[in-house]
Amino acid sequence: MSCWAVPLQSSPAPGTRSSLYHGAIDRGRATEAIDLFTEDAVFQARGEELIGRAAIAAFLVERQAQIGRHTVHLVANERVIAAAVGEARVQAMVLLHVRQPDGRYLLERVLDTEHVLYCRASGWRIHRRLSRPLHAADGMGT
């Protein structure tokens, strides 16, 4: 599917990419998210910047191996912005909840995120993932 001239509301819309990424993480299938990224994607996580799908895939493999960490990423205030033909920005707040030993989920942090997506022949793909704590004192991203 070509999305160069297709409206942002087309299926699958750019905004669904960040939701699909977070959903894969939360369901314990983090490695399934690699196909959401471009080959040369830049990915910020936990204060690190990963470049390229191989580096991102290694991060996702490591995350998927954390079978004792159960998370729920709630995406709020999502805004899709047409940046240029074939480019979109998805800005959102992500509320990261972590399951506690008693089964309750507690809010661990709120992240200010931006996903820059490029249109490819296979559809919208994440080219850059930026993430930082909303009210961080140290400026470290996650």
59 Cβ partners below 8 Å, 6+ apart? 43, 45, 50
Residue for token pair 């991102």: 56
Structure tokens at 90: 């998805």
Q: What is the pLDDT of residue 140?
A: 54
Q: Is 39 left (phi over 0), alpha (psi -120 to 50) or beta?
A: alpha
pLDDT along the chain (142 residues), means of 10: 49 66 93 94 91 96 95 92 87 96 96 92 90 75 48
Asked whether residue 61 is assigned to any structural domain, the reply reads yes
Asked whether residue 125 is assigned to any structural domain, the reply reads no
Asked whether residue 131 is assigned to any structural domain, the reply reads no
Domain containing 27 equals 14-112
Q: What is the pLDDT of residue 13?
A: 59
Asked whether residue 35 is assigned to any structural domain, the reply reads yes
Asked whether residue 135 is assigned to any structural domain, the reply reads no
Asked whether residue 126 is assigned to any structural domain, the reply reads no
Q: What is the pLDDT of residue 111?
A: 93
4 Cβ partners below 8 Å, 6+ apart? 85, 86, 119
Asked whether residue 48 is assigned to any structural domain, the reply reads yes
Q: Could you tell me the CATH number of the domain that includes residue 19?
A: 3.10.450.50
Per the structure, how many domains does the chain have? 1
